[in-house]
Amino acid sequence: MKNAPPNDDPCGPSLTFVTTRWTVVLRAGGEAADSGAALEQLCRDYWYPLYAFARRRGLTTHDAQDRTQAFFLHLMEGGMLKRADAERGKFRTFLLGAMQNFLANEYRSQHRLKRGGGAVFIELDALDAEGRFVLEPADPMTAETQYDRSWAFALLERVFRRLGAEYEAAGRAELYGKIRPFLAADSARPGYPALAQELGLSVGTVGVMIHRMRQRYGALLREEISHTVTTPEEVDGEIGQLMEVVARG
């Protein structure tokens, strides 16, 4: 049997609720030095959910690409953030309402941002976005439902990516790959003995390692969500909404 891993968490402790990207953007109205970087990251995170929303609304691939990019430019340059307030709460709620208004009222052909032309404030992989969209369920769903679904799975993807990066940085990428399939539910317990044998560890040690990974996953999930709300109290509600969306999806 191999020696058991050390008891300390190689990925570090969970973070407490701190000033978030969304609160920075709200307070600064898009003008402070750090608000630009915060808004850019939020827009990167929500590029695909808004693209999928536009596609579900009936826009073609190219029009959805153009209008999503144009919307982000409008968000950056049009003073919209100065009209935002803390009552809007969640960034995704603010963003969806703003996108709906943009598509309905603000977009005109003379303002259209041609693909490959004009100013592009963030680089986005439009081909990847459409590749993801065509894999979405064919079942009828509203554009708003599509937006929520895309938001949920994009957020979970970011969490898994961060978790994997932490294990890789700690020299434990192979371990992460072996444990990740057991992350989702306790129903995976029947597979613990086989995994323990493969790793050369006791079943108890494997259980502890999986438990720690789940804890870290939960901490990263809360941190990701905290970036897009204005108060700690909203985090649990967002997690509940996320779980409902994932269960439906």
Query: Residues 195, 182: contact at Cβ < 8 Å?
Result: yes
Contact predicate 121/39, CB 8 Å: no
Question: How far from 155 is each of 46, 59, 105, 152, CA to CA, in Å?
Answer: 9, 24, 29, 5
Q: Which pLDDT value is given to residue 157?
A: 92
d(CA 16, CA 201): 33
The predicted-structure confidence for 69-86, as pLDDT tens digits, reads as follows 888 888 877 667 766 665
Q: How confident is the model at residue 29 (pLDDT cuts 50, 70, 90)?
A: low
pLDDT tens for 101-151 read 888 865 555 445 444 444 444 555 554 666 666 556 555 568 898 899 999
Residues 124 and 61 in one domain: yes
The answer to whether residues 128 and 25 belong to one domain is: yes
DSSP class per residue in 127-196: HHHHHHHTTS--S---HHHHHHHHHHHHHHHHHHHHHHHHHHHTT-HHHHHHHGGGSS-GGGGGGHHHHH
Average pLDDT, the chain: 78
**Residues 160 and 221 occupy one common structural domain:** yes
Record the tokens describing residue 144, joined without a space: 């708003």
Residue with the bigger pLDDT between 75 and 192: it is 192
The closest of 126, 118, 103 to 57, measured between CA atoms, is: 103
48 and 131 in a single domain? The answer is: yes
CA distance 128 to 47: 11
187 and 91 in a common domain? no
Give the total number of structural domains in the chain.
2
Better pLDDT: 116 or 41: 41
pTM: predicted TM-score of the whole model, two decimal places: 0.74
The verdict on 25 and 129 lying in the same domain is yes
Residue 3 lies in a domain: no
pLDDT tens track for 196-208 = 999 999 999 999 9
Q: How far apart are the C-alpha atoms of 156 and 1, rounded to whole Å?
A: 35
Range list of H helices, the chain = 21-28, 33-56, 61-77, 91-101, 126-133, 143-169, 173-179, 192-199, 203-226, 233-248
Q: Does the pLDDT of residue 161 top 90, yes or no? A: yes
Residue 99 lies in a domain: yes
pLDDT in the model for residue 248? 80
pLDDT (0 to 100) of residue 172:
95
157 and 116, same domain (yes or no): no
Round to whole Å and give the CA distance between 239 and 193: 31
Q: What is the pLDDT of residue 205?
A: 95
| Interval 39-60 mean pLDDT | 88
- CA 40 – CA 54 distance, rounded (Å): 20
pLDDT over 90 (residue 165): yes
In a domain, 144, yes or no: no
Residue 185 domain-assigned (yes or no):
yes
* Residue 221 structural domain: 152-249
Q: Are residues 80 and 108 in the same domain?
A: yes
Residue 30 sits in the same domain as residue 64 = yes
Residue, of 222 and 6, whose pLDDT is higher: 222
**CB-based contact 236:221 (threshold 8 Å):** no
| pLDDT at 218 (0 to 100) | 94
Q: Tell whether 4 is covered by a domain.
A: no
pLDDT at 20: 74
pLDDT for res 170: 96
pLDDT greater than 60 at residue 3: no
* For range 158-173, the mean pLDDT: 96
**247 and 173, same structural domain?**
yes
Q: What tokens appear for 38 in the block?
A: 């915060």
